[in-house]
Structure 1
Amino acid sequence: MNFFNFSINKILTREQSILDQARIRLLYYGFLLAIVGLGALFLSVYLQNLHVLTLTAGAILVAIAALFKYLTYKPHWRTISHLLLITGTLLNLAIVFVIVQDINIVTIQAIILIIIFSFYMLGQNWGMFFSLLNLLPILIFMVMQYDHNYFIDFKPEKADQSTTIIAVFANFILIIFIHSHLYAAFIKNIKQLRDTGEEQTTLNIKFETAIKKAEKSSQVQSEFLSTMSHEIRTPLNAVIGMSNLLLMNNPRPDQSENLEILKFSANNLLAIVNDVLDFNKIESGKVVFEKIKFNLAELLHNICGGQMIKAEEKGLLFKLDIDSALRRKIIFGDPTRLTQMIFNLVSNAIKFTSEGNIWVRATCLEDRHNTITVGFSVKDSGIGIRKENLETIFEPFTQESITTTRQYGGTGLGLAIVKRLLDLQGLQMHVSSKVNVGSEFSFNIEFPVSTEIVAPPKELVTETCQHQLQHTGAELELTESNLRILIAEDNPVNVMLMKKLLSKWHIVPTIAENGARAVEILQYGNFDIVLMDLQMPVMNGFDASMEIRKMTDPAKSRIPIIALTASALFDIRDQVTTAGMNDYVAKPFKPDELMDKIQNLITTVG
């Protein structure tokens, strides 16, 4: 601000409130009125040869002029108000106790002026302070004067009536000006608050409408994704299922090669669909992290089992290194989300590595008995990432370059999903990479530890062989048990697929074309398990399951029900459980997975 500024427009800003602007204007124009009034008083007492009053009036005039200049240079209205009130209080007390030694109408006006000014400018607390600072000494003086106890060695000066008239007139002008100016400011402020309140109400209504539209849009999007997922997964279920069936029929080598290509392409398409659905689920905030018990070493072996085969097919050396301190620990966490993160990182490493090694490590960084901090690392000797692209690779639908996308394919969602899942847990991803040397992705997670101790997991190859033997035993047991299976499915291709699949285990299922028909068949027939599609005409799988649970015959109402769904609804697990179903299998499903769940439910419920 220019020191020689005298314009009020240059000290008012848009950032100041209406009341603050009004206070600055009050000081500005009040100072001008005070200068005029004090100037008239100064001339009046000077002409009367009242030396002390002349000196006092001159000093106050200089002080007012200095405060006016301070205001136009730095509009610190609070500081200026304090200085003005202190000056006015000292002047008032000096006039009463020393110069005039009396209380008259001018003194009373000065006190009223100080009280009004202090409350309007500085608020209630400071208003009370300056009011009492002026009133109490005056009351004391009045008591002393009444008892004739007040006397000082100074002869008081008495001004004539003209001086009193000027002082009274100037004080009344200032009192009226303060009241009118701040009254107008308060009215304007109240009107603005009312208008703002009305605008806020209007904005709230619009905001609520926008929220409802957003919620409806989100619901529509969710339903659209569910429908599209169902429409895409249903034919994929048939393609992958038929490929599996044909491969189980000992095809010729050339046929086997074609079927493997068909199955590989269908699985790639399924992976793309799953990536999009998983990312949408994460972005919509529907992810809830579980706290369930699992063995970390066993989980990592399971994650890397299939990935190891993919790596070996490319001629890569795959090494899984699990800290010995982790092998016998049971921890609490979300194995599904951890699987998702590790799986995506390993898949990326294999995809972008043409020769060399893949390393997956889990290291116990800190063991505090009841909690452990585990460091996860996935390292490869692949193409690497340029330093300037390290941030962009975590953006959705983004890969390092168009060339990378064309050469290696994929949606560009794998790393985005991992990063979002880590962010939701308040965790960070660390990346180090060199072009044509390789990359390493790592992150740390803290897990609560269970007191349960388990035997260390066996070697992965042994586990795989044992897993195959278990399936063989399950198949024999299912064959001998002559299972009675009711399938509720409206899609003829899926019906044919299920019949062919179950025929491999010598099972002839009963088919219901919709939920209502499934309920009807179950009422008059005996079955061991129900495979229930969720989206069917007449009656869907949810309603059919609830009707089954209401049956009076306990053998029928407690029958195991497995949902078969190609839906992508985020809360599908909760919906399945609420409807009374025991478990669900997502289409396209793996035959072994379905048979495992059938076997477990038959054994458990039976």
Structure 2
Amino acid sequence: MSKEAGFFNLSINKIITDEHSQMDVARVRLLYYGLWLVFGTVSIVFINLYFQHKAVLTSVGGAVLLSIAILFKYLTWKPDWKFVSHALLVIGSLINLIDVFIIFQRVDVVTVQLVLIIVIFSYYMLGPKWGMLYSLMNLVPVVIFMIYAYNNIYIIDFKPQRLDQPTIIISVLGNFILLVFIHNHFYQAFITNIRQLKKNSHEQKRLNTVLESAIDKAEKSSQAKSEFLSTMSHEIRTPLNAVIGMTNLLMMGNPRNDQKENLEILKFSANNLLAIVNDVLDFNKIESGKIVFENIRFNLTELMGNICGGQIIKANEKGLNFVLDVDPRLNQRIIIGDPTRITQIIFNLVSNAIKFTQQGQIQVIVELVEDRHDRATISFAVRDTGIGIERENLDAIFEPFTQESITTTRQYGGTGLGLAIVKRLLELKGVQMQVSSKPGEGSAFTFNMEFPVSTEKPVEKPKTTVPTQEQVADQNNLSHLNVLVAEDNSVNTMLMKKLFSKWHLKSSFAENGERAIEQVQYGNFDIILMDLQMPVMNGFDAAMEIRKLEDPKKANTPIIALTASALIDIREKVFSSGMNDYVSKPFKPDELKEKILNLVGDDTLIK
């Protein structure tokens, strides 16, 4: 109902709203104008009967006029066209039956017209179900009356009334006008509806075309964004590899204290830049929906110790007390999940806590809240005594590239992606995080996660002894190995040469994949380090060609991919091309050395 329509409203424009469909508008209009038409016809008949002094027919006409006036007023106040339609059909059916069985006691042209009006009106207004009901209510009694009248067995103690010819003509004419009006009105409504549907169909096709084009553009845009981020990653990581690598080399050369301090600042800044790049790339992976969670057996107590080990040092450097409290019941439990993603979640939460806390303590609490035979629900909580968060800003801190305020960004730095990554990862696992915080007092981030539990008992690790200086020196001596490096970047080549000289490792270099294949054919190498993006021939194609060599020893030479790429499926591409492992640039020297020794099988050097 329109908000403008009131009890004294008589306008049709105030009772038709945007909520009405095309057919409903046609029904309301039919009732509005149809009631005027019926009221006019019945008024003429009523006046004619009144002056003829036909009391019974005048009373019936007056009752009909009053009913029509009431229904018209109701329609213009509350446009409930269904109720008004039912009321009109009931009144029409009663008039029809009273006229046939009592007043006129015959079936004439007016009766037939009235039955036709009821049948057509009921179907158009209320549909087949009600149309059939009202049609039978009028047709069946009329047919029964005709059968009784034909056999002359219908007798009722009431003298039938008769209409004069002018009244009959007025009634017949009014009924015909009403029939034509109903048919014409709904014919126009149907034609308008069909045209509208056709127009909507064309518009829908146009919108579908526009939508398909928009989806195609969005997909291309998303792909372009991923490719741009991958390229950006490669272009930033490549010089970062040189910066961090050279810094590591200089720090390995026993620098003076003042030099060491400068190198540590340089390394810290480079690692911060790398962390920002990694945050952007991780968020892109999550947003693209291509994150796949692994199911690996691991000990949560050990994992938490590894995650918080470096963070404890950071906290202590700021004068903060760091408390890691892991439920002792988890010491001997092996759970199944994705330790990489758990590390990412906890690391981001703890890093934020340390960043925004100037004094006090950081608490990381891991508690086993529900322990079943094959599943365990574990609660994680990271609490700090930092700057806290205003209540109205609690939702904003989880939005990407957003921090609580611009002041926070300027004072503490960062991309604002850490908590966004945490939230998205938890949501992908169906987990909600609760945050409680008071400005100036600190914040607490908590969530519960359910893990499958392995029934295998953890294997106790043998006690390790501290290596002697001779053993450490022996680990840095890789003179028995001959490595081939396929790398087109001259700075990275120089970095590798300097690093390998410290390991006493024999090395050869190829500037592209094609030269690498040639050197493998004519030389003997224990391992190959393969850059992926090179001119002439890339690392993937070069690795596949090496695997096709006739000499099985050369064809099976271990290959480690060196990549600065951030493509989501880089791992699959590396292994599908026949390479054994990969190291992301910028790499840690110890990580590269460990992978080399693992692949060449020299166990004595990694103990």
TM-score range, shorter chain: over 0.9
Correspondence for 1:535 among 519, 524, 533: 533
Looking at structure 2, the residues matched to 474 and 536 of structure 1 have their Cα atoms a distance apart, in angstroms, of 35
Structure 2: where are the runs of 5+ without partners?
none
**Residue in 2 that maps onto 1:235:** 239
For the structure 1 residues 597 and 475, does the alpha-carbon distance in structure 2 shift closer, same or farther, using more than 3 Å as the test?
A: farther
Displacement of 1:516? 1.9
Q: Structure 2 length normalisation: TM-score? A: 0.92
Residue by residue over 1:407-465, the C-alpha shift from the partner in whole angstroms, topping out at 9 and shown as x without a partner, is: 3332222222222322333322222333443322221111122222215789xxx8xx7
**Residue in 2 that maps onto 1:211:** 215
**Residue in 2 that maps onto 1:51:** 55
Residue by residue over 1:277-322, the C-alpha shift from the partner in whole angstroms, topping out at 9 and shown as x without a partner, is: 2223323333333333322122111111221222233333322111
Structure 1: where are the runs of 5+ without partners?
none
Indicate yes or no: 2:402 matched with 1:398: yes
For the structure 1 residues 480 and 592, does the alpha-carbon distance in structure 2 shift closer, same or farther, using more than 3 Å as the test?
A: closer
Displacement of 1:388? 4.1
Following superposition of structure 1 onto structure 2, how do residues 254-265 of structure 1 map, counting pairs within 5 Å?
254-265=258-269
**Is the partner of 1:535 in helix, strand or coil?**
coil
**Residue in 2 that maps onto 1:65:** 69
Looking at structure 2, the residues matched to 476 and 98 of structure 1 have their Cα atoms a distance apart, in angstroms, of 122
Following superposition of structure 1 onto structure 2, how do residues 341-420 of structure 1 map, counting pairs within 5 Å?
341-420=345-424
State the one-letter code of the partner of 1:595: K
Correspondence for 1:337 among 341, 354, 357: 341
For the structure 1 residues 235 and 165, does the alpha-carbon distance in structure 2 shift closer, same or farther, using more than 3 Å as the test?
A: same
For the structure 1 residues 266 and 58, does the alpha-carbon distance in structure 2 shift closer, same or farther, using more than 3 Å as the test?
A: same
Displacement of 1:604? 11
Contact 1:386–1:434 (8 Å) recurs in 2:
yes
Contact 2:359–2:385 (8 Å) recurs in 1:
yes
For the structure 1 residues 42 and 433, does the alpha-carbon distance in structure 2 shift closer, same or farther, using more than 3 Å as the test?
A: closer
Contact 1:384–1:435 (8 Å) recurs in 2:
yes
**Is the partner of 1:8 in helix, strand or coil?**
coil
Looking at structure 2, the residues matched to 604 and 8 of structure 1 have their Cα atoms a distance apart, in angstroms, of 93
For the structure 1 residues 41 and 469, does the alpha-carbon distance in structure 2 shift closer, same or farther, using more than 3 Å as the test?
A: farther
Following superposition of structure 1 onto structure 2, how do residues 20-59 of structure 1 map, counting pairs within 5 Å?
20-59=24-63
Looking at structure 2, the residues matched to 137 and 478 of structure 1 have their Cα atoms a distance apart, in angstroms, of 110
Contact 2:479–2:506 (8 Å) recurs in 1:
no
Indicate yes or no: 2:94 matched with 1:90: yes
Alignment size in residue pairs: 599
Contact 1:298–1:457 (8 Å) recurs in 2:
no
**Residue in 1 that maps onto 2:572:** 574
Displacement of 1:599? 2.7
Looking at structure 2, the residues matched to 285 and 254 of structure 1 have their Cα atoms a distance apart, in angstroms, of 47
RMSD: 2.5
Contact 1:429–1:441 (8 Å) recurs in 2:
yes
Indicate yes or no: 2:123 matched with 1:123: no
Looking at structure 2, the residues matched to 14 and 398 of structure 1 have their Cα atoms a distance apart, in angstroms, of 41
**Is the partner of 1:123 in helix, strand or coil?**
helix
**Is the partner of 1:509 in helix, strand or coil?**
strand
Instruction: Pick which of 241-250 and 422-431 moved more.
Output: 422-431
Displacement of 1:70? 1.0
Residue by residue over 1:295-352, the C-alpha shift from the partner in whole angstroms, topping out at 9 and shown as x without a partner, is: 2122111111221222233333322111122222222222222111110111122222
Contact 1:566–1:586 (8 Å) recurs in 2:
yes
Looking at structure 2, the residues matched to 457 and 79 of structure 1 have their Cα atoms a distance apart, in angstroms, of 83
Displacement of 1:589? 0.8
For the structure 1 residues 105 and 475, does the alpha-carbon distance in structure 2 shift closer, same or farther, using more than 3 Å as the test?
A: farther
Structure 1 stretches of 4+ with a deviation exceeding 4 A read 455-458, 468-481
Looking at structure 2, the residues matched to 91 and 17 of structure 1 have their Cα atoms a distance apart, in angstroms, of 32
Q: Structure 1 length normalisation: TM-score? A: 0.93
**Is the partner of 1:176 in helix, strand or coil?**
helix
**Residue in 2 that maps onto 1:585:** 583
State the one-letter code of the partner of 1:313: E
Displacement of 1:30? 0.5
Displacement of 1:253? 2.1
Instruction: Pick which of 41-50 and 224-233 moved more.
Output: 41-50
**Is the partner of 2:586 in helix, strand or coil?**
coil
State the one-letter code of the partner of 2:333: K
Contact 2:479–2:504 (8 Å) recurs in 1:
no
Indicate yes or no: 2:80 matched with 1:76: yes
